[in-house]
Structure 1
Amino acid sequence: MGRPLLNRRLSAFGTTIFAEMSALAATTGSINLGQGFPDTDGPDEVREAAVRALRDGHGNQYPPGPGIPELRTAIAEHQQRRYGLPYDPDREVLVTAGATEAIAASLLALLEPGDEVIALEPYYDSYAACIAMAGGTRVPVTLRPDPESLTYRLDLDELRAAVTDRTRLILLNSPHNPTGTVLTRDELAAVAELACERDLLVVTDEVYEHLVFDGGEHHPIAGFPGMRERTVTIGSAGKTFSFTGWKVGWVTAAPELVTAVRSAKQFLTYVSAGPFQYAVAEALRLPDSYFDALREDLGVKRDVLSAGLAESGFRVFRPSGTYFVTTDIRPLGESDGFAFCRALPERCGVVAIPNAVFYDHQDEGAPFVRFAFCKRTEVLEEAVTRLKQLAP
């Protein structure tokens, strides 16, 4: 054929690094701390709710396009109970095939070709692909590592300077993958003020909302003044309940925004995960003690892996949230995260992800590597033992 098969919008996107590194983990028998999925299932009562739905014939055929009423009601109740955000389950909630579809449908629905989208770099790789599919233009605002506090922070002046007359929306992610940054109330207030001032939409990926450590809090930007009518909030069951394979996500927003997102979503998957929707409806009504225990357990695992990485010679950026810890490999005498991660399985029997894949300007992320700590403690301890071979 005389022309490339893959359209130009997607020509820069091949096989994801997650597929590559997970395949490498399988072929080498390595511990996979690359992709962010737990190695244990979530609560038994939630799994049994899915089995019960299957047996009772609930959701085995097409569920309603917006999602089953039981789940939409549970999502609305969750937003009200946790954050004081009221949503009408019939007009302001949409169930999606995971958060990834919610992001894709939101961007496809809300962007015109040429619209600019500001995203906090480094960012989850699907953001770049979805912006491209919608014909938008990525405008990265980079979270920069502070070598003293060993955290990543947002430069609000840089964010303001990035807004132009072509900017349509800000794509936000807090708690932030891969850096583990949790935006503060003051930072979110500044983002909200900017969005209102420049009449911008905000699409906010909050799938790690329940994974905030050290007594910190997650603050949905939809709750700030002027944001209720311009914010699309995206949530997911996968990270909160450890059933990532179910692919149940959702959107909460004003009716006009939900209608727009649904217009795109209905031509992507139409519907999905019928029986699992019933189970997630029950999961969202679990007592606060479940969410507290999840956060405490993952906080301990974060500390186990972070300490082990530091002892192995990495510079560790302590995450305030999410499943992930970012490290600097330069103290190990390394500077190329891709080469380091591709060699690590043979060297130590551990798989990680090079952060450069999350950057438009890959040199910015070249010396940084991400590890996932959503694994059993004994698995993390074994990974740490193997990684200590790297210690100078």
Structure 2
Amino acid sequence: MIANARRLDGKQQSTIRAMTERCVAVGGINLGQGLSRTPPPASLLDTGAAHFKTADHSYSLAQGDPALRKAIARKLTAYNGIDIDPDDGIVATIGASGAYNAVLLAYLNPGDGILLPEPFYGYHRAAAELYGVMPEPIGLTAPEFRLTKQALEASASERTRAIVLCTPNNPSGRRLTADEITAVAQFAEERDLLVITDEIYEYIYYTPGRHLSPAAFTPLTHRTITISGLSKTYSIPGWRIGYAAGPGHLIQPVRTAADILSVCAPTPLQQLAVDALELPEAFYTGMRDQYRTQRDRVASAFRSAGLEPNHPEGAYYLLIDCSSLRVQDGFEAAEAILTTAGVATIPGEAFHHNKPPYTYVRACFAVSQEDISRTEKQLATADFSTLMGTGATI
């Protein structure tokens, strides 16, 4: 029998994808995986239909199509407040996850530690572990999930080499404040850490104030690699267009790693992505308004069923407090919601290194209007009474 590589020992399909398959099997409504089921901008689809007739269908440069890199640089300056050289400071990747994998390969060795504020996006942990990097969770307390220098110091070790920041956060929806970023800057400077930011939800927020990119804070500019992409903002996750950006000296190794991993991102879609990045401000305002409405509708549906959601500041997920259910953990809670209401969610365990301190599931509200209406109806008629206890944490 041919054995798998040891790096896969103990690894299995992500909880998120597993729940998607379970949802399909029972014909449920998938509020689990962040599939971005809201329609992409119509103008982008119209442009794409014409674009493919004349598009470049060969490989792009390893660092990405020049027009896309210039468009990303313009966007980083205007929106994020970060000045990046498009020639040596940007590399286009197979989604934001491709950028993250390239950064891990470029900078972290087996046995190195990486700080992950918890709850975290599960792939941030899984990819690190695949390369032999040791996740070092920073347990943050609900509902504030506030990141402090004290929490950083308590979670770091002698092996710590990097920290991942996700803002707005998946799954909590928290947006990092200037004080929190300043605390990270002080700690990273003291420990000489690489700062990796995942800002894939940068345009999706509901509270006042512009998006804050950690790399725009001067103490972090020289040690931060900013990761983002087009999947979430434009509802095109299947296009797999992401990027890593930073000072040239940081990006050069990432470019090498990305080239080895996947050669390049899809050339025709890189070129089409330029049009997405040039959409007017009205698009972003309308997109946020739509998601805010969807957030409130789905939250109200869960609340009416006796389950308490949080109130996220950004991204498009709800944390549903299931402490009122007589269940042992998030897996049982997710199964109870699926079998009772026909609605798929993700167990909170997917976003923690160890058992979460409270019982919750994550629900995505970036779904079609039809699925939102079905969710409202099915939760309204679901009977959780036999499972109800007491308690609330989030």
What TM-score does the superposition give when structure 2 sets the normalisation length?
A: 0.93
Work out whether 1:328 is the aligned partner of 2:341. Answer: no
Q: Deviations over 1:109-155 (max 9, x none)?
A: 10022211101122222111221232211100022213xxxx43334
1:254 alignment counterpart = 247
Residues 309 and 316, structure 1, Cα contact 8 Å, conserved in 2? yes
In the TM superposition, residue 375 of structure 1 has moved relative to its aligned partner by: 1.4
In the TM superposition, residue 97 of structure 1 has moved relative to its aligned partner by: 0.3
1:45 alignment counterpart = 43
For 2:47 and 2:266, how far apart are their aligned partners in 1? Answer: 13
For 2:157 and 2:22, how far apart are their aligned partners in 1? Answer: 42
Q: 1:10 to 1:155 in 2, by over 3 A?
A: farther
1:14 alignment counterpart = 12
SS at match of 1:178: coil
Compare 18-27 and 287-296 and name the one that shifted more.
Answer: 18-27
Compare 171-180 and 332-341 and name the one that shifted more.
Answer: 332-341
Q: State the AA in 1 paired with 2:323.
A: R
How many pairs align? 384
Over the aligned positions, Cα root-mean-square deviation in angstroms equals: 1.6
For 1:162 and 1:342, how far apart are their aligned partners in 2? Answer: 32
Pick one of 266, 273, 276 that aligns with 1:280.
273
Matches within 5 A, 1:155-194: 155-194=148-187
2:119 alignment counterpart = 122
1:64 alignment counterpart = 61
2:375 alignment counterpart = 383
Gaps of 5+ in 2: 386-394
SS at match of 2:170: coil
1:35 alignment counterpart = 33
1:233 alignment counterpart = 226
Compare 313-322 and 231-240 and name the one that shifted more.
Answer: 313-322
Work out whether 1:368 is the aligned partner of 2:366. Answer: no
For 1:332 and 1:165, how far apart are their aligned partners in 2? Answer: 41
Residues 49 and 278, structure 1, Cα contact 8 Å, conserved in 2? no
In the TM superposition, residue 159 of structure 1 has moved relative to its aligned partner by: 1.2
Compare 205-214 and 376-385 and name the one that shifted more.
Answer: 376-385
Q: Deviations over 1:259-280 (max 9, x none)?
A: 1111111111111221111111
Work out whether 1:338 is the aligned partner of 2:335. Answer: no
1:79 alignment counterpart = 76
Residues 313 and 332, structure 1, Cα contact 8 Å, conserved in 2? no
In the TM superposition, residue 363 of structure 1 has moved relative to its aligned partner by: 4.2
For 2:290 and 2:376, how far apart are their aligned partners in 1? Answer: 18
Q: State the AA in 1 paired with 2:113.
A: E
Q: Deviations over 1:74-123 (max 9, x none)?
A: 10000111122111111101100001111111011100222111011222
Residues 108 and 133, structure 1, Cα contact 8 Å, conserved in 2? no
In the TM superposition, residue 47 of structure 1 has moved relative to its aligned partner by: 1.9
For 2:370 and 2:279, how far apart are their aligned partners in 1? Answer: 27
In the TM superposition, residue 207 of structure 1 has moved relative to its aligned partner by: 0.2
Residues 142 and 154, structure 1, Cα contact 8 Å, conserved in 2? no
Pick one of 52, 59, 76 that aligns with 1:54.
52
Residues 47 and 279, structure 1, Cα contact 8 Å, conserved in 2? no
In the TM superposition, residue 373 of structure 1 has moved relative to its aligned partner by: 0.4
Residues 39 and 374, structure 1, Cα contact 8 Å, conserved in 2? yes
2:389 alignment counterpart = none
SS at match of 1:272: coil
2:132 alignment counterpart = 135
Q: State the AA in 1 paired with 2:374.
A: E
Residues 215 and 224, structure 2, Cα contact 8 Å, conserved in 1? yes
Gaps of 5+ in 1: none
Residues 143 and 155, structure 1, Cα contact 8 Å, conserved in 2? no
Q: 1:385 to 1:268 in 2, by over 3 A?
A: same
For 2:36 and 2:133, how far apart are their aligned partners in 1? Answer: 33
SS at match of 1:227: helix
Q: State the AA in 1 paired with 2:25.
A: T
Q: State the AA in 2 paired with 1:161.
A: A
Work out whether 1:110 is the aligned partner of 2:107. Answer: yes
Compare 243-252 and 333-342 and name the one that shifted more.
Answer: 333-342
SS at match of 2:145: strand
Work out whether 1:289 is the aligned partner of 2:282. Answer: yes
Q: State the AA in 2 paired with 1:17.
A: T
Indicate the percent of aligned positions where both proteins have the same amino acid: 33
What TM-score does the superposition give when structure 1 sets the normalisation length?
A: 0.94
SS at match of 2:74: helix
For 1:371 and 1:316, how far apart are their aligned partners in 2? Answer: 9
Residues 340 and 384, structure 2, Cα contact 8 Å, conserved in 1? no
For 2:189 and 2:11, how far apart are their aligned partners in 1? Answer: 33
2:295 alignment counterpart = 302
SS at match of 1:160: helix
For 2:324 and 2:104, how far apart are their aligned partners in 1? Answer: 39
For 2:142 and 2:3, how far apart are their aligned partners in 1? Answer: 39
In the TM superposition, residue 391 of structure 1 has moved relative to its aligned partner by: 4.9
For 1:182 and 1:245, how far apart are their aligned partners in 2? Answer: 26
Q: Deviations over 1:288-313 (max 9, x none)?
A: 11111111110111111112211211
